[in-house]
Amino acid sequence: MVLSNKFRHLALLLTASGLASAAPAAYGNLSKHYALEAIQATNTLQKLFYNGTSGLYFAINSTNNSTAPVWWNSANCITTLADLTAIDGSVSNTTNPIFANSFENAPAYVLNQKKIDPQNTCIGQWPWTCPPGVEPEEITPGGFDNDFFDDAGWWGLAWVSVFDVTQDETYLNQAVDIFNRMLSEGYNATCGAMWWNKEHEQQNAITNELFLSLAAHIGNRVDNSDYYRGWATKQWDWFQNSGLIQPSGLVVDTLNNATCQANTNDPSFSYNQGVILGGLIELNKLDPNGTYIDIANTIAKAAIANLSDANGILTEFNSNGNPDLGLDLPTFKGVFARNLQFLQQETKDSSYASYIRKNADSIWNTDRSTINGTLGTVWDQYFGQDLPQGHCAAMDMLVAAAAVS
């Protein structure tokens, strides 16, 4: 029997409440409160944004009502669902099929992939519009690979998170494959470590943080941990000395290719503050050294102090002046929320837990559509930018609140 969305949502709520036959997660009332909100948001996410054919989440263009898949942002949505599953295993009946479907179908769409169309008669990118009888040949570089190494890193971390909740080594093997491609095709840039893309146009913080984090994550889950420990520690040595971490404790975005100096006028994006936290936590498990957590705390506290508004709500750099964050920035805050959760669980710092709960409450009370239940991109107001990437990022904070409560 196939349940309607309405009754499927009810079943999820009953299961998470301990009223259905599945065993409920062992969490307290406050944690359950946030988990139920995250489960409700999951139902909205899948109903409005998930495309089962492609295994990706689709953004809606409000100007012409067209839809388009989001690539690396979809990897973050998969990670969000894995983190929720880790908090409440009763949702695995919903999330495990999503993981399997995305793993199977998403590689057919690779952002910026090329096509062979000798007649040049097909229009656009995947799914291309072609005349009858014309079948363009897709060139898929392999797996979850495209022109951008940071995109690959997001998918690598997503499949590690899925492995953690499924124990299916197929997902971990994919993460290993992604790491190997990043290493073989993107390492040894002009200033050392990772390039941002295959055209060698730029070096930035996020790609190098993802490489570090993926190495450490894999190293904690495989037998040949020494190999990944070596890469993770080498990458941290480079990152720590790159200048990307400013004296303020904030991480800036890019390096100058000519001088190899950090571009100090760059914005301090919230996701740059987030990924490094998770990488340092995993590195500390792989290669115990108290300084890793000390530095993570410095970065986290600097981000909270400098990237929050007067009411203590996390903002992106242009949120106050322009609440429309485009297509990439809506994901950023969720990455910070996710990794701040991990840091709180590692350190038991109550100030992190309070900050997370305050933001989660603001999201649910002020940043949720009364029409369709979507969660917006600016966490102290709702102004109608309905995007899967923004919805998933807000879910990250709800999941974090459930985890730390």
Unique residue bearing structure tokens 């966490």: 379
> Does residue 120 carry a pLDDT above 90?
no
> Does residue 68 carry a pLDDT above 50?
yes
Percent residues over pLDDT 70 in the chain: 83
Rounded CA Rg of the chain: 21
pLDDT at 65: 66
Lowest mean pLDDT among 114-123, 149-158, 260-269, 348-357: 114-123
pLDDT band, residue 13 (cuts 50/70/90): very low
Q: What residues contact residue 58 under an 8 Å CB cut-off, 6+ apart?
A: 49, 50, 51, 67, 68, 69, 70, 388
Q: What is the dihedral of CA 342, 346, 349, 351, to 10 degrees?
A: 0
Which domains are present in the chain? Answer: 5-95+148-404 (1.50.10.20)
pLDDT band, residue 23 (cuts 50/70/90): very low
Tens of pLDDT, residue by residue over 180-206, are: 999 999 999 999 999 999 999 999 999
pLDDT at 206: 98
Tell which wins on pLDDT, 310 or 117: 310
Task: Report the predicted TM-score, pTM, of the whole model to 2 decimal places.
Answer: 0.87
Q: What is the mean pLDDT of the chain?
A: 87
pLDDT band, residue 139 (cuts 50/70/90): very low
| Helices 205-219, 169-186: crossing angle, 10 deg rounding | 140
pLDDT at 134: 65
- How far are the Cα atoms of 7, 24, 40, 95, 117 from residue 43, in angstroms, in the given order? 11, 18, 5, 11, 39
At residue 51, what are phi and psi to the nearest 5 degrees?
A: -110, 105
Contact of 76 with 154, CB cutoff 8 Å? yes
What's the CA gap between 273 and 266, in Å, rounded?
13
Percent residues over pLDDT 90 in the chain: 75
What's the CA gap between 126 and 130, in Å, rounded?
11
Tens of pLDDT, residue by residue over 335-391, are: 999 999 999 999 999 999 999 999 999 999 999 999 999 999 999 988 877 899 999
Across residues 159-175, what is the average pLDDT? 98
> Does residue 18 carry a pLDDT above 50?
no
pLDDT band, residue 3 (cuts 50/70/90): very low
Segment holding 68, helix H or strand E: strand 67-70
Contact of 356 with 404, CB cutoff 8 Å? yes
**SS3 letters for 240-266?**
HCCCCECCCCCECCEECCCCCCECCCC
Largest CA distance in the chain: 63
What's the CA gap between 333 and 268, in Å, rounded?
12
Beta pairing partners, 57 = 50, 70
Tell which wins on pLDDT, 16 or 124: 124
Contact of 335 with 323, CB cutoff 8 Å? no
Tokens of 327: 């297509």
